[in-house]
Amino acid sequence: MQATTTSFGIEEALEQLGIKEVNKGTSTGKNWFSDGEEITSHSPVDGQVIAKVTTTSKEDYEKVMESATSAFKDWRLKPAPLRGEIVRQFGDELRRLKEPLGKLVSYEMGKSYQEGLGEVQEMIDICDFAVGLSRQLHGLTMHSERPGHRMYEQYHPLGVVGIISAFNFPVAVWAWNTALAWVCGDVCVWKPSEKTPLTGVACQKIAAKVFADNNLPEGISCLINGDYKVGEMMTNDKRVPLISATGSIRMGKIVAQAVAGRLGKSLLELGGNNAIIVAPDADIKMTVIGAVFGAVGTAGQRCTSTRRLIIHESIYDKVKDAVVAAYNQLRIGNPLDEKNHVGPLIDKDAVKNYQTALKKVVEEGGKIIVEGGVLEGEGYESGCYVKPAIAEAENSYEIVQHETFGPVLYMMKYSGDVENALELQNGVVQGLSSAIMTNNLREAEHFLSVQGSDCGIANVNIGTSGAEIGGAFGGEKETGGGRESGSDAWKVYMRRQTNTINYTTELPLAQGIKFDL
């Protein structure tokens, strides 16, 4: 019998996070307002209503922007290390509330509790990264061609950063953006997914407490809620110089056109169609672990989820048998029960997309080797639990070319050398994550070379799913080209300025030009 959510401490978690039966969905910090239409958050775990959130009206949005633009004028003047100190305190609050926030992520989104905790840990990690970064927002010094001149470049805050996040990582992706934007001197306005509004409310409450405790102005961290129409308020707003949007390719193209139309900047993290190449000398055990977690983790609802397994024909049957055997051991059920490997899809629309994909792959000539299907009965009342499925398919199938946000894995063969595998892997419009399983140094290096993977992430002997915050995260082609999190991704949140100083009593011109008066 499925345990009730009460036994997993959901009610206590909601209380600790300040989630009420009906929550105001618009906030500039301590101030919460909006009496718009209500979003009802249903848990995919058991189908129950968790709570409701009111949406943001145009009038509410204007209040938010007035507060944010005003706060920016103050926040940008704070020394970057002081801004880092605020982010450090925010990270400490996340540590204190890691368990309840992780439970809310799991219950509202449907990922396993361990993954929910892991997502909050990502938030903590990016805060730690941002604190160190706050003392390293560096430019370059260059030699001038003119005597007695010094050249250098520096970075200044952009202003208001608009963040549109997706349901699958309802808190971590916001933190990736906002922790860096804050230390860079920006203020943030966040529209979480309408499918996971409560995690947005919870995070805003945590942030608001930190800013209030430090007597900082309203508007440094703002929250808005609603559907795509609320997102359009930001994408069309010239007061928002940067829009960071995570979601589908279709959504990203709409955002990109709107922001480009006003010559704004966009940071896009869109779809993935990620493949693992399994070379002839691959470690089978490692391959199985990487492929199975990559395909079924978060019920296949990660942008980095493994969609395709490209296996050399010489070991195809061996790898197939091992992966199928592993699928037979999967436990599907309440994600708050740590004995389960796979939780539900986010909603019934996602279930329909999953069913459509399995139908289409067969219609195109594919063969189902691990049967899918929707689970029914006790413990599966929400109607969102499905069985992870595997299909043998060709890379050219239309359904394989598209991203299905669910636990559907396509297996295919390649022959010859790694070039043939790379042609398959790169033969899709998406370019987010990729991996090769091999013990051949030459194959590994070729995979990472300019002739190899065309993705923003390329891994050797680990899967496609997951990323460390120290590296820049993002992809190429129709994945959008954006980069978040580590490395020098911070630069997108700032404007670059080149400075030249003449410390002589003369004014020589560049390129030796003479202009005598």
Confidence (pLDDT) at 3? 38
Please give the share of the chain, as a percent, with pLDDT higher than 70. Answer: 99
Indicate the pLDDT class of residue 511, thresholds 50, 70 and 90. confident
Indicate the pLDDT class of residue 35, thresholds 50, 70 and 90. confident
The verdict on residue 13 lying in a domain is no
**3-state SS string for 68-92:** HHHHHHHHCCCCHHHHHHHHHHHHH
Q: Residue 417 pLDDT > 70, yes or no?
A: yes
Number of domains in the chain: 2
Indicate the pLDDT class of residue 512, thresholds 50, 70 and 90. confident
pTM to 2 decimal places: 0.96
Indicate the pLDDT class of residue 147, thresholds 50, 70 and 90. very high
Find the catalytic residue in 119, 218, 269, 443.
269
Confidence (pLDDT) at 508? 87
User: Vertex 139, ends 136 and 144: CA angle to 5°?
Assistant: 150
Q: Residue 484 pLDDT > 70, yes or no?
A: yes
Q: Assess whether 461 and 417 both reside in one domain.
A: yes
Q: Assess whether 368 and 278 both reside in one domain.
A: yes
Between helix 284-296 and helix 316-327 the angle, nearest 10°, is 50
The contacts of residue 151 (CB under 8 Å, 6+ apart) are 141, 142, 143, 144, 498, 499, 500, 501
The C-alpha atoms of residue 265 and residue 162 are separated, in whole angstroms, by 10
**3-state SS string for 129-149:** HHHHHCCCCCCCEEECCCCCE
Q: Assess whether 331 and 256 both reside in one domain.
A: no
What do you get for the CA distance between the two ends of the chain, in Å?
92
The verdict on residue 54 lying in a domain is yes
Tokens in use for 2?
Answer: 């499925």
The verdict on residue 429 lying in a domain is yes
Q: Assess whether 243 and 190 both reside in one domain.
A: yes
Q: Which domain holds residue 322?
A: 274-471
Please state the rounded mean pLDDT for residues 16-20.
97
Confidence (pLDDT) at 1? 24
Q: Residue 348 pLDDT > 70, yes or no?
A: yes
Q: Residue 517 pLDDT > 80, yes or no?
A: no
Which of these, 103, 107, 122, 165, lies nearest to 343 by C-alpha position?
107
Confidence (pLDDT) at 59? 97
Q: Assess whether 300 and 257 both reside in one domain.
A: no
The verdict on residue 451 lying in a domain is yes
The C-alpha atoms of residue 302 and residue 315 are separated, in whole angstroms, by 28
User: Vertex 42, ends 39 and 45: CA angle to 5°?
Assistant: 160
Please state the rounded mean pLDDT for residues 451-458.
98
At residue 434, what is the residue type? S
The C-alpha atoms of residue 195 and residue 170 are separated, in whole angstroms, by 9
51 has which bridge partners?
A: 41
- Which residue in this structure is represented by tokens 């991996």? 435
The answer to whether the CB of 169 falls within 8 A of the CB of 199 is: no
Q: Assess whether 146 and 203 both reside in one domain.
A: yes
250-264 pLDDT, tens digit per residue, is: 999 999 999 999 999
Between helix 58-75 and helix 228-235 the angle, nearest 10°, is 40
Query: What CATH number does the domain containing 313 carry?
Result: 3.40.309.10
Q: Assess whether 247 and 330 both reside in one domain.
A: no
The verdict on residue 502 lying in a domain is no
90-126 pLDDT, tens digit per residue, is: 999 999 999 999 999 999 999 999 999 999 999 999 9
Please state the rounded mean pLDDT for residues 78-98.
98
The C-alpha atoms of residue 125 and residue 221 are separated, in whole angstroms, by 19
The C-alpha atoms of residue 100 and residue 43 are separated, in whole angstroms, by 15
Query: What CATH number does the domain containing 160 carry?
Result: 3.40.605.10
Integer angstrom CA distances of residue 411 from 155, 372, 422: 47, 15, 15
Please state the rounded mean pLDDT for residues 275-289.
98
Tokens in use for 110?
Answer: 């449907």
Confidence (pLDDT) at 7? 58
Please state the rounded mean pLDDT for residues 312-325.
98
The verdict on residue 289 lying in a domain is yes
User: Vertex 180, ends 179 and 185: CA angle to 5°?
Assistant: 100
Q: Assess whether 260 and 283 both reside in one domain.
A: no
The C-alpha atoms of residue 264 and residue 239 are separated, in whole angstroms, by 9
Q: Assess whether 172 and 39 both reside in one domain.
A: yes
Indicate the pLDDT class of residue 295, thresholds 50, 70 and 90. very high
Q: Assess whether 146 and 287 both reside in one domain.
A: no
Instruction: Report H helices in 97-226.
Output: 98-109, 113-133, 172-183, 197-213
The C-alpha atoms of residue 182 and residue 204 are separated, in whole angstroms, by 14
Q: Assess whether 204 and 353 both reside in one domain.
A: no
The C-alpha atoms of residue 88 and residue 113 are separated, in whole angstroms, by 25
Q: Assess whether 292 and 231 both reside in one domain.
A: no
The C-alpha atoms of residue 355 and residue 497 are separated, in whole angstroms, by 52
The contacts of residue 288 (CB under 8 Å, 6+ apart) are 319, 322, 323, 326
The verdict on residue 514 lying in a domain is no
179-221 pLDDT, tens digit per residue, is: 999 999 999 999 999 999 999 999 999 999 999 999 999 999 9
17 alpha carbon, distance to own chain's centre: 22
The answer to whether the CB of 32 falls within 8 A of the CB of 26 is: yes
Q: What is the mean pLDDT of the chain?
A: 96
The verdict on residue 441 lying in a domain is yes
Tokens in use for 162?
Answer: 């608009």
Please state the rounded mean pLDDT for residues 335-347.
96
Phi-psi region at 268: left, alpha or beta (left = phi > 0; alpha = psi -120 to 50): beta
For the question of residue 85 being annotated catalytic, the response is: no
Please state the rounded mean pLDDT for residues 353-381.
97
Q: Residue 226 pLDDT > 50, yes or no?
A: yes
